[in-house]
Amino acid sequence: MEDTNLQIMNLIINAGDAKSSAMEAIYAAKKKDFVLAENKIKEANVKINKAHNSQTDLLTEEANGNHTELSLLMVHAQDHLMTALTFLDLAKEVIDVYKTIDVALVEGS
């Protein structure tokens, strides 16, 4: 159970870090710092992969017959992961919009 809780906490931490990096990427793009924005997206991808790996470990244990009791902490972890995945996708689109606006303003000058 202790190992399971560790995996769950890793999922929560890494998903939360991914979401934070994605938000920082949006802030950077808003300031027209597209290099920083892309670096923050890369950071977010690394963190989301770590979170996804924790989820995969938990799913593998379940598939192997080692059932985990469903807890509020597990639900919370899954919520964090799904929110972070959605937020990361949205952040990429917002950054593209900021880039498009920046190009249009430069070309319009």
Please report, in range form, the residues annotated as the binding site.
79
pLDDT digits (tens, 9 = 90+) for 28-63: 999 999 999 999 999 999 999 999 999 999 999 899
Q: What is the pLDDT of residue 109?
A: 67
* CA-to-CA dists, residue 17 to 32, 39, 40, 69, angstroms: 22, 14, 11, 26
76 is catalytic: yes
Would residue 108 be called left, alpha or beta, if left means φ above 0 and alpha means ψ between -120 and 50 degrees? alpha
Kindly name the residue from 52, 67, 76, 80 that is annotated as catalytic.
76
Please report, in range form, the residues annotated as the binding site for Mg(2+).
79
Among residues 15, 40, 16, 56, which one has the least CA distance to residue 95? Answer: 40
pLDDT digits (tens, 9 = 90+) for 71-96: 999 999 999 999 999 999 999 999 99
Q: Which three-class secondary structure state does DSSP give residue 57? A: helix
Instruction: Note the pTM of the prediction, 2 decimals.
Output: 0.90
